[in-house]
């Protein structure tokens, strides 16, 4: 299966000695780091983990029986 690239909006904020980062479009994807570089890498890892986990949970909880799964595109 081809790798799917998606784009999200990363938001960063300096808070004392730490940088905070979160993904605007997906609640719960947030992290921190001592440097901006570190928080960016941590945020990529957190986003991958949340997306992979949500996919597993979705298949386990709702994937039993007949389901329709398709791509959905929107413009904002």
pLDDT tens digits along 24-43: 999 999 999 999 999 999 99
- Tokens 């719960």 correspond to 28
Q: How many helices (H) and strands (E) does the chain have?
A: 1, 3
Residue range(s) defining the domain that contains residue 43: 10-59
In a domain, 41, yes or no: yes
Q: Please report whether residue 75 resides in a domain.
A: no
In a domain, 4, yes or no: no
Residues pairing with 21 in the sheet: 12, 31
In a domain, 55, yes or no: yes
Is pLDDT at 15 greater than 90 in this prediction?
Answer: yes
pLDDT score, position 61? 76
Q: How confident is the model at residue 72 (pLDDT cuts 50, 70, 90)?
A: confident
How many domains, in total, are found in the chain? 1
């Amino acid at each position: 299966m081809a790798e799917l690239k998606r784009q999200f909006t990363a938001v960063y904020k300096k808070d004392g000695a730490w940088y905070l980062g979160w993904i605007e479009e997906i609640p719960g994807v947030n992290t921190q780091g001592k440097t901006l570089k570190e928080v960016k890498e941590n945020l990529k890892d957190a986003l991958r983990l949340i997306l992979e986990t949500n996919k597993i949970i979705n298949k386990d909880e709702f994937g039993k029986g007949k389901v329709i799964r398709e791509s959905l595109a929107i413009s904002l």
